[in-house]
Copies of this chain bind each other. A is one copy, B any other.
Amino acid sequence: MVTSGGDAPGMNAAIRAIVRLAIPRGFRVLGFMRGYEGLITNLVKPLDLRSVSGIIHLGGTILYTVRSPEFREMQGLKRAAENLEKNEVDGLIVIGGEGSFRGALELNKMCDIPIIGIPATIDNDVFGADETIGFDTAVNTALRAIDNIRDTAVSHERIFLVEVMGRTRGFLALSVGLNAGAEIILVPEVEVNLDEICDRLEEGRKRGKKSSIIVAAEGVGNTREITEKISSRTGYDARLSVLGYIQRGGNPTARSRLLASLFGAKAVELLQKGQGNEIVGLQGGKIVSEDLERSCKSIKPLDTGLLQLAQELAV
């Protein structure tokens, strides 16, 4: 098993589930440390039942995760494949996001070992998984931050543009914005229309609104510039707040822990059946599996109906 890519709250709960379910089913469990780098350098430690005690509620990952540029090169992949063989690994579980799964797909070409992906990323952008481990936690962390910011927005009668994570996708921004009651939500999937934003703010002002929250994914463009333009065009006192890394950590919520346990259980089940090259997913409320390559090559759609709903609700 390996955790890879950005850390997400609930990764530890997934590690715990895999260890606790795999060992009684006859597996020996190894944890490669520091993401794919540990595969390349053979930094590995055996995990027993007690080694995952007291971690279900901790953010981050006890297996660590660092970026591994080497893993993108043939040389690195080869060494990883060799180390998997050397350690007599029959199946590899990769806990991570889209980028990690693409790496897994490459690795798969180098060796015959079945690989199962467990979607764990606050970006929620894995095709085949309606929700990823860590997403619910990040949404709630951002919501609580906005609850704080709203105090100041209201007291000072200001506009706040709150930038949440999401370089290419707007899942986090959409969910945070809808549930925070944000007046405007900006996602990378929809081009920013400053005129429309300013018009909506003006209309709100006419209806009596004195403060507003705009939630924007980081990928929508230069949020500082957008904030300044809103200020100068509307005359509102608009401020920018970038939530940043606080969204990545913290104790996982119940839902992130639940997905971690269910995804972990499914991954062990798949390996037991000898299946590989799949990711574990959630579809229509059910835990399912999805072809690894298909997941990597497909784009999970954003629910634009929710965007529409958010706009209607925040009149």
Q: Show the binding face of A for B, using Cβ within 8 Å.
A: 3, 6-7, 9, 16-17, 20-21, 24, 34, 49-50, 54, 56-61, 64-67, 130, 136, 139-141, 143-145, 147-152, 154-157, 160, 175-176, 178-181, 207-208, 237, 239-251, 253-255, 257-258, 261-262, 265, 282-286, 309, 312-315
Complex-state Cα separation, A234 to B143, whole angstroms: 35
Complex-state Cα separation, A254 to B255, whole angstroms: 11
> Is the beta-carbon distance between A148 and B245 smaller than 8 angstroms?
yes
Pick the residue among B6, B34, B157 that contacts A66 (CB under 8 A): B157
Contacts of A152 in B (CB 8 A): 6-7, 59-60, 245, 248-249
Copies in the complex: 4
Complex-state Cα separation, A284 to B285, whole angstroms: 5
> Is the beta-carbon distance between A250 and B285 smaller than 8 angstroms?
no
Which of A3, A154, A254, A258 has the most chain B CB within a 10 Å cutoff? A254
Complex-state Cα separation, A258 to B140, whole angstroms: 12
- CB pairs A–B below 8 angstroms (20 shown): A7-B156, A9-B151, A24-B312, A49-B315, A50-B208, A54-B154, A64-B154, A136-B255, A140-B140, A140-B253, A143-B253, A149-B246, A150-B249, A151-B250, A152-B248, A175-B254, A178-B258, A241-B245, A261-B313, A265-B309
